[in-house]
A = this chain, B = another copy of it.
Amino acid sequence: MKGVEFLVALLLLALASKLASASDPSPLQDFCVAVNDTKDGVFVNGKLCKDPKLAVPEDFFLAGLNIPGNTSNQVGSMVTQANVQQIPGLNTLGISLVRIDYAPNGGLNPPHTHPRATEVLVLVEGTLYVGFVTSNPENRLFTKVLYPGDVFVFPVGLIHFQFNIGNANAVAFAALSSQNPGVITIANAVFGSDPAINPDVLAKAFQLDENIVKQLQSRFWWDNS
C-alpha cells in the first residue's frame, strides 16, 4: 500500500515539476520564468513557468561569458549560449545572447541558419570574414571583414558564417531575436543526420559522386554550440 502511495506522490511531483516549464512568443505578464525540467514528457510551445512570486534575481542572471570557449576542435570555434536553457527568465521574452570564440588562422563558425532568429554580432577581438547568402533565385553573398567594434547583421533564416582570418584569437558577442533561436549547421544536418539521408538524394542535390557522399556521411560532424 505504502508503495502505491509513494508512487503516486512521485508521479505528482514529477508532474508538478514538468508542468512548471512552458511559455510563448509575447509575454502576457511581467515575466514567466521557465522551469527547465521537461524530463517527464509534458511540454507546451516554449516553456512552462514558475510561480512569479517565487521568481528571484538569479532567474534573470548567468555568469561566465568572460570565459573563453574551447576552440580545440574540428572547426576551431566555440559558441557559449545564454538563452532560455541557461537563463530561465528569458522565457517568453524573445531574445538571447551568445559568446563566440574563434581559433587563430581559420577558426570557423560554419555555414548555419537560425530558424527562429535574426542575429546581430559585435566583434570585440580579432578579425573576421563574415557573410550571409540570400534566398533563391539570386543566392547573393553579402560579406564583410570585421575588426573590433564592428557590428554585422544576419537576417532570420538565411545561411551565414564567420571565419577568423587573423592570426590571433577572435571573440564576438551576438544577440539573437528569440529566447530559443535554434541552430542548423548545414553540413551536419545534410551529411550528419541521424539516420543518414538516402545518398542518392545528396549525390543528386550536391552534384557529388555517391562514394564521396557516403564518405561524408561516415565522418564525425562537430556541433560547436
Contacts and interface: CB of A to CB of B under 8 A. Distances in A.
Contact of A90 (B25, B75, B153, B219): B153
Contacts of A25: 24-26, 28
B161 A197 contact: yes
A168 interface: no
A41 B22 CA distance: 12
How many copies of this kind of chain does the complex include?
A: 6
Of all A-B residue pairs in the complex, the 6 with the closest CB atoms, nearest first, are: A115-B157, A66-B149, A175-B175, A110-B205, A41-B51, A60-B153
What range describes how many residues of A lie at the interface? 35 or more
A152 B5 CA distance: 41
Given A30-B182, A63-B149, A115-B158, A223 B122 contact: no
A72 interface: no
A205 B154 CA distance: 18
7 contacts: A28-B46, A65-B151, A66-B124, A96-B175, A99-B122, A133-B193, A159-B184
